[in-house]
Amino acid sequence: MEIFENYDIKKESTFKIGGIIKKIAFPTSTDELVSLLKTHEYDCVLGNCSNILFSSDYIDKKIIITKNIREYSIDKNEIKVSSGTLGSEVSKECLKKNLTGFEFLIGFPGSFGGMIFMNASAHNQSIADNFIWAKVYDKETDEIKIFNKKEMDFNYRHTKLSDENYVLLEAMFKLSEGDYEKIKDTMDRNVEFRKTHQPSLKYGNAGSVFKNPPNDSAGRLLDLCEMKGQKEGGAMVYENHANFIINFNNATSLDVITLMYKMFSKVREKYTIVIKPEIKYIGNKGTEEYKLWEIMNLESMQTIQK
């Protein structure tokens, strides 16, 4: 296990944005992760950082990154994964074994810890579909617990892990047997869709910026607000999809959040709809970007108007 102080967090960010963070740990096993959690020293646990915006300023926090805990096993049609396992890696193995249910993960850059945390979904498939149980660490009681599907409270971009004091350790899924060619065809179409509709990671980005509001699409609303191509410093709304921001020229976190706030405000003003950030922000309270972030995360239009 590696632990660093005053670490350049930009190296871990798919957004290619971030300053120096106070302390960071990289466990290589679930046991090491548990040992770190028991210290109660760390502020949060992250995976592949594919939906994270780190502040460009110094970040006075201690974090754990699980990307080196990449353990999984496949027994017939049951798949057990650790928190740092990449979805795309498991998706490819499921294809080899003619298992269907994880086709949507083929283009995902994230790990299972993050994908379960937010109930990741795409192309009419979601993490919840084939979920059986999760083994989690309760940071308040220092206990390891098992939650079944019902107990996980799966909803759109939300699970029990989203608002409770739990960290994913392992999870079990049960997929169905399928036809190799049909599975491969679906995966190929998913990859092609991502290539044509979403930016490549060669342009720093963190996936969809805003959650879809009920019965609508954040991308559609932002497109109608003519946000495609809009810029703020080194950040730009992707020209092929209005719900993505790319780091095209050494963008800072303030560039990104200022642009997000413009997107947020346009939709609120034109349609009286509040779109909420899907990406997660890690920074220090009191800064200009933190204040904008708090406004965008208010619960209702009435709260914003107050």
Which residue is it, tokens 């019902």? 150
Catalytic residue among 32, 71, 157, 217: 157
Active site residue 91: no
CB 248 within 8 A of CB 15: no
- Distance CA(106)–CA(193), nearest Å, equals 11
Residue 67: closest CA among 5, 6, 20, 12: 12
Active site residue 208: yes
Catalytic residue among 32, 78, 93, 278: 278
Per DSSP (E only), the strands in the chain are 2-8, 20-26, 44-46, 52-54, 59-65, 72-75, 78-82, 99-100, 121-122, 125-126, 131-138, 143-148, 166-174, 176-177, 231-232, 235-237, 245-247, 280-282
Active site residue 278: yes
Residue 279: closest CA among 8, 14, 7, 20: 14
Residue 131: closest CA among 114, 147, 111: 147
Catalytic residue among 50, 55, 208, 253: 208
- Distance CA(164)–CA(139), nearest Å, equals 9
* Residues across the chain: 306
Q: Catalytic residue positions? A: 157, 208, 278
